[in-house]
Amino acid sequence: MIHPIEGRYGRAEVKAVFEEENKLQRMLDVEAALSRAHAAVGNIPKKDADIISRKAKTRHVKVARVRAIEREINHDVMAVVKALSEQCGESGKHVHLGATSNDITDTALALQLKDYIACLEDALKGVRKELARQARKNIDLVCVGRTHAQHAVPTTYGLKFAIYALEVQRHVERLREAKRRILVGQMTGAVGTQAAFGKHAVRIQRHVMKDLGLRTVEVSNQVIQRDRHAEFMLLLALIAETLNKVATEIRNLQRTEIDEVREGFGKKQVGSSTMPHKMNPIHAERIGGIARVIKADAMAALENIPLWHERDLTNSSCERIIIPEACILTDYMLQLTIDLVKNLAFNKANIKRNLEMTQGRIMAESVMIKLSEKGYGRQRAHAVVRDCALESYRKNIHFKGTLMKNRTVTKYLSEDEIDRALDPERYVGTSKQQVKAALKKLR
């Protein structure tokens, strides 16, 4: 094993989409559809198209035979054409009629991506479901919000997870939109003019794509234009970064000093080979690491857009690596994230401890707003409350003590009003309504 995809990372059913035998089958599917299109417009006898279609299966055209031919002629697509033709007898003379290599490989790739996208969409919905479940479950769980890695004002775990769930929903929507541009095939021949297909060229292309369940390119040269593939790869990178975003937050919240949320830890799981006490966020860290690979693959896909003239081969070798890799690893990250979010453990005692860590100072804005509501100007209220908060910090005393000593504060607010303003449970605004609205949309 050289690449971790071979044994360590990725689902078998997703890897199968990109394995050599399935890739060959998809190329054969395109060749068969082309023969049927030629028969439909009267270019070849239907019986020949039937024979080609019947023989265009990997049980007849073996990977080993294609490899053997390719070693001899050093051309992968022509090796497939020869291997199929020799299975078809006299009808083999009609195989690949009018087509160029990328008519077959690019259209076959679209078929592979069509299968993969079905898996991807299901996996995205699986992550969305688990994030929505945590949002619903923790809709009232108040915690400290953090900005610049410092305690800010209270928020809720329900709101955190609703934000993530809606971000994943946007990826579901982006994927649906991207399908129109990535699930396309072509039958345009050398440099895209369709000259070799003759007077029925447009009908042949339309017939092939309808047969295969793909959209047809509007115009092309010798390859399907790589902005389409780059867009799809960038979408995978966007998905990966959202998963990284969730994982990074969980890693931070699992830090010993914070310890509010942590990954599930199996009964026999080992955290460290030398430190028996360790319970490391390995799923979240793996998600973060793999996200870097998918981003790099997306950058390579951008480099594939500017090919020389009507085509060159610089994209081909690159795509053999980056497309299967990014697709398999993105799906794997989604599966990891489903497991991660499903099995989160919340430490409510520490959530409460952290809410109280700054001795009430996270409620400074709440006090400022109450003073403003009483008619003491917002800017002046900010200055007064800031002084009280800094005194609380410097003297290491509770914020309420410095507020109660401040004559301006006590002139406008009673002790009961100060207590209410210092209650985190009372200062989460519309977070509950926002979560409910998000969950309604996600349904």
The helix/strand/coil state of 243 is helix
For residue 133, give the 3-state DSSP assignment: helix
Phi-psi region of 151 (alpha: psi -120 to 50; beta: other; left: phi over 0): beta
Q: What is the DSSP string of 325-383?
A: HHHHHHHHHHHHHHHHHHT-EE-HHHHHHHHTTTTTGGGHHHHHHHHHHTTS-HHHHHH
Q: Which two tokens stand for residue 229?
A: 């593939």
- For residue 146, give the 3-state DSSP assignment: strand
Query: Which tokens go with 7?
Result: 């044994």
80: nearest Cα among 20, 17, 40, 39:
20
- Distance separating alpha carbons of residues 294 and 403, to the nearest angstrom: 52
| Backbone φ, ψ for residue 36 (5° rounding) | -65, -35
Asked about 272 being catalytic, the answer comes back as yes
Distances (CA, A) of 319 to 109, 138, 230, 327: 10, 43, 10, 11
Name, in order, each residue with C-beta under 8 angstroms of 8's C-beta and a sequence gap of 6 or more. Answer: 1
Distance CA 132, CA 262 (A): 18
Catalytic residue among 53, 220, 272, 366: 272
What is the chain's alpha carbon radius of gyration, rounded to the nearest angstrom?
Answer: 30
Catalytic residue among 35, 91, 148, 309: 148
Active site residue 316: no
Catalytic residues: 148, 272
